[in-house]
Amino acid sequence: MARKTQTQETAVSCGTLRERTRRAIVQLLKQEGCLDAETLASHLGITAMAVRQHLYALRDEQLITYQEESRPMGRPAKLWQLTAAADRFFPDGYAELTLSLLNSVKQAFGEAGLDRLLEVRSKQQLESYNQQMKGKRSLKQRLNKLVEIRTHEGYMAEVQAQADGSFLLIENHCPICAAATVCTGLCAKELEIFQAVLGDDTHIQRVEHIIAGERRCAYQIIPH
C-alpha cells in the first residue's frame, strides 16, 4: 500500500482539526446558550474571523442559526444558537424505543401500571445514586458527585454557586426528553430523587424546564 504524501497527511490533519473545532462550537452553544463570535473565539483560543468561518459553515448545514442583538455602538451582534438538527450530536436515550415501551405499558396496564413502573425505576435510580454518594457528606460534595453522575448519564450537568448561598444545578441536555414529554412523571420523579439524594436540609425547586420550551433544566437548591 502506498504511503500517504505529506500533502495528503496535511489535508487529513486540517480536516480533523476543522471538525474538532466545529464540534467544540456546537458543544459550547449547547452548554452556554446563545453566544457571539467574539465570545466563542475567547473560549476556543482562536480568532473571531476563524470562528465566523466555522459558524457560517455550520449554518449552511442547518445546525445553527442566529438572531441579531442591538449594541450601543456599531452594528448589531449576531447571537448564534443551535437548531433542532444539532440534537443528533447529543445522546437521545433511545427515544423511539423508550416511547414505544411507555405506550405499551400504558396500553397493557393502564395509568396505574405506568405509575408503578416509574416507582420501580425511581427506587433503583435512588439506590444507585446513594451508593455512589458514600463518603460525600457536605452539600457541595454531594452536588459535585450528582453533577458527575448526571453528566455520565448524558445530561451535561454543572453546578453554580449563587451569591445568596444557594446553588443552581443545571442540565444542558435531556437524553430522555422525548419520553419526558409524553410521561411528565419522569420529571417529577427526578425532582424527588434530587431531594432525597441531597438531603432534607435543602429545598429544591425547578426554575427552568426543557419541556416548557426553555434551553435547559435548572434547579435552585437552597440550604436550610
CATH of the domain at 83: 1.10.10.10
Indicate if 82 and 16 belong to the same structural domain.
yes
Indicate if 60 and 107 belong to the same structural domain.
no
Could you say which of 32, 62, 89 is where a domain stops? 89
Q: State the pLDDT confidence band at 14, using cuts at 50, 70 and 90.
A: low
Could you say which of 29, 61, 89 is where a domain stops? 89
Count Cα atoms within 13 angstroms, Cβ side, for 43. Answer: 17
Mean pLDDT of the chain: 87
- Is 202 part of any domain? yes
CATH number for the domain including 110? 3.30.1380
- Is 195 part of any domain? yes
The more confident residue out of 101 and 122 is 122
Q: What predicted TM-score, i.e. pTM, was given to this entire model? A: 0.69
User: Which parts of 76-116 are beta strand (E)?
Assistant: 77-82
Indicate if 99 and 197 belong to the same structural domain.
yes
Indicate if 136 and 210 belong to the same structural domain.
yes
Indicate if 83 and 186 belong to the same structural domain.
no
Could you say which of 89, 119, 154 is where a domain stops? 89
Q: Is residue 2 within a helix (H) or strand (E), and if so which, with residue range?
A: none
- Is 1 part of any domain? no
* Predicted confidence (pLDDT) per residue in 170-197, tens digit: 999 888 887 888 788 889 999 999 999 9
Distance CA 222, CA 166 (A): 5
- Is 64 part of any domain? yes
Which cell numbers in the block locate residue 96?
423511539
Q: How many domains are contained in the chain?
A: 2
Q: State the pLDDT confidence band at 206, using cuts at 50, 70 and 90.
A: very high
Residues 6+ apart with CB under 8 A from 52: 37
Indicate if 165 and 206 belong to the same structural domain.
yes
CB atoms within 10 A of CB 42: 13
Q: State the pLDDT confidence band at 139, using cuts at 50, 70 and 90.
A: very high
pLDDT at 165 > cutoff 70 = yes
Indicate if 210 and 107 belong to the same structural domain.
yes
Q: Residue 51's pLDDT is what?
A: 95
Q: State the pLDDT confidence band at 41, using cuts at 50, 70 and 90.
A: very high
Indicate if 120 and 212 belong to the same structural domain.
yes
The position carrying cell 420550551 is: 213
Give the domain range for residue 99. 95-223
Indicate if 144 and 216 belong to the same structural domain.
yes
pLDDT at 117 > cutoff 50 = yes
- Is 14 part of any domain? yes
Q: State the pLDDT confidence band at 154, using cuts at 50, 70 and 90.
A: confident
Indicate if 136 and 190 belong to the same structural domain.
yes
Indicate if 53 and 137 belong to the same structural domain.
no
Are β-strands 157-161 and 167-171 bridged in parallel, bridged antiparallel, or unpaired?
antiparallel
* Predicted confidence (pLDDT) per residue in 58-89, tens digit: 999 889 999 998 888 888 899 999 987 788 78
Which cell numbers in the block locate residue 158?
454543572
Indicate if 123 and 106 belong to the same structural domain.
yes
Q: Residue 58's pLDDT is what?
A: 94
- Is 201 part of any domain? yes
Q: State the pLDDT confidence band at 3, using cuts at 50, 70 and 90.
A: low
